Amino acid sequence: MTSHPPLQDTARAGPYRLPPDREAGLLASAASLGLQHLIYRPEGNQDIRTWLAGLGQTLGFPEHFGANFDALYDCLTDTEILPQPGLLLILGGLTSLGDAVDILIAIFQAASDEWRDHERPLWVLFDAPNLDLDPLPKA
């Protein structure tokens, strides 16, 4: 059986937990596949609105981005805002967000589904070892 990098299997794109010690390899894989990658790991404890505002800046969302869940989904699925043919996001700084993380996972899953409908992969890796989310498979 031939092994292939997990990011090649675009049908499985979506939110996952970032496996320990695999970030460098995944970033190299993303680059070889022509996927843009962005990393957002804010320092310190942040409330969800501040976290979303920082994410919006990292992703280059418009100034009018409302830093709320509806606006996040709208911007993630707007091809004028995010025109990339594929994207790998690595997200951290989640410890102070509480139950909002579950909502973020759902939003990123829905956005990944939308991207997939347009034959574009959106991979979202949460850098949170204790998060109740499947880790990205090895292949």
Q: Are 38 and 58 in contact (CB under 8 A)?
A: yes
pLDDT digits (tens, 9 = 90+) for 45-94: 899 999 999 999 999 999 999 999 999 999 999 999 999 999 999 999 99
3-state secondary structure the chain: CCCCCHHHCHHHCCEEECCCCCHHHHHHHHHHCCCEEEEECCCCCCCHHHHHHHHHHHHCCCCCCCCCHHHHHHHHCCCCCCCCCCEEEEECCCCCCCCHHHHHHHHHHHHHHHHHHCCCCEEEEECCCCCCCCECCCC
- Tell me which of 43 and 56 has the higher pLDDT: 56
pLDDT digits (tens, 9 = 90+) for 5-36: 789 999 999 999 999 899 999 999 999 999 99
